[in-house]
A = this chain, B = another copy of it.
């Protein structure tokens, strides 16, 4: 039985779901000849670690306890029964990494949403251990950090950073390794903005569509977190860097669907929803009408092409895969030598803890050949 030792950073949302998947897949993975050995689980202020990190594990009873505490909104410290500083958590993780990097190997799985994990992950790479990410922030940090993380390209997986479990990164890596040059990527990578843009086509005003999306729970509590485009921009940057573009988040052209004078620090959310949003209706309606007269529709997409990497509204043919997209699915069109006139299209749910955690789990299983 092959054992994959792993440490999980971040055990809310996706991380908790991952632990549940790991426990419920025990017999499936045993049939595949693999066991995921959870050596440690941490959040920002606590760490649970196996007493014997070389051979032992946090057992399924312990993992289930973590899941239960986290689903009740409690901190990991309530399970571990002692709180730690971030620095203490980091030191302890690095201690385990240095031990296992020299023996059985280790996968460090980042399911947090923190920008503070890049430092640990860089050290993980230095020790020759593997990195699996659902967290977009380490991959969208400076190019120096990025280059370090991908310096052992077989030892990093990050499918769930773009389109949740959709096999977007896997597909691109296959295309790249087979020497098929990617000319163009266009993708709707926000379920929220996908829903908004396709609803606009039915003639409803922008303010109304956003308000309904918020009431359906499709948006963040403050919809400006979606409308600003930063989440899509991080995904675009990850894809662009995968294709070899030397870009940073600062250098991306990102279109926000609200103007700076309506930004959260200036306009309270209630004011934005009641008075701000309706002011945006006419302009968007105008753009829709113009696009429609040319047989096009508007989509909020990432567009990567030659030296271009943009995030914002694009006019796209009504009859293209993106033009036909309805609802909250993500959709990516990839154009290359092999997929020239008609793109390779990947479409499906691009969010949700279950799907995102399933993508992380598939990544972990996919690096099994690197373990003894």
Contacts and interface: CB of A to CB of B under 8 A. Distances in A.
A29 B175 CA distance: 13
Number of copies: 2
Contacts of A28: 179
Given A167-B170, A174-B165, A369-B154, A24 B348 contact: no
A346 B171 CA distance: 10
B177 A167 contact: no
A86 to B, nearest CB: 30
Nearest to A352: B338
Interface in A302-335: 321, 324, 327, 329
A365 interface: yes
A166 interface: yes
Contacts of A159: 174
Contacts of A342: 327, 329, 348-349
Contacts of A324: 324
A21 interface: yes
A354 interface: yes
A21 B25 CA distance: 39
Nearest to A327: B342
Interface in A161-220: 165-167, 170-171, 173-175, 177-180
A360 to B, nearest CB: 8
Nearest to A26: B179
Contacts of A321: 347
A284 to B, nearest CB: 25
A15 interface: no
A370 interface: yes
Contact of A178 (B153, B343, B347, B365): B365
A179 B28 CA distance: 7
Contacts of A354: 337-338
B21 A178 contact: yes
A170 B179 contact: no
A344 interface: yes
Contact of A170 (B21, B174, B370): B174
Query: Range of interface residues on chain A?
Result: 35 or more
B338 A179 contact: no
Contacts of A359: 174, 178
A361 interface: yes
A42 interface: no
A261 interface: no
A289 interface: no
A203 to B, nearest CB: 19
A177 B345 contact: no
B339 A349 contact: yes
Given A329-B342, A348-B339, A361 B179 contact: yes
A59 B105 CA distance: 36
Interface of A: 21, 24-25, 28-29, 32, 153-154, 159, 165-167, 170-171, 173-175, 177-180, 321, 324, 327, 329, 337-339, 342-349, 352, 354-355, 358-359, 361-362, 365-370
Give 4 nearest A-B pairs by CB, closest first.
A174-B362, A344-B348, A369-B369, A25-B179
19 contacts: A21-B179, A154-B368, A165-B174, A165-B178, A165-B180, A165-B338, A166-B344, A167-B346, A174-B366, A178-B359, A337-B354, A338-B352, A343-B348, A344-B347, A344-B349, A345-B345, A346-B346, A346-B347, A347-B347
Given A24-B179, A25-B179, A29-B177, 4 more contacts: A165-B174, A338-B352, A338-B358, A342-B349
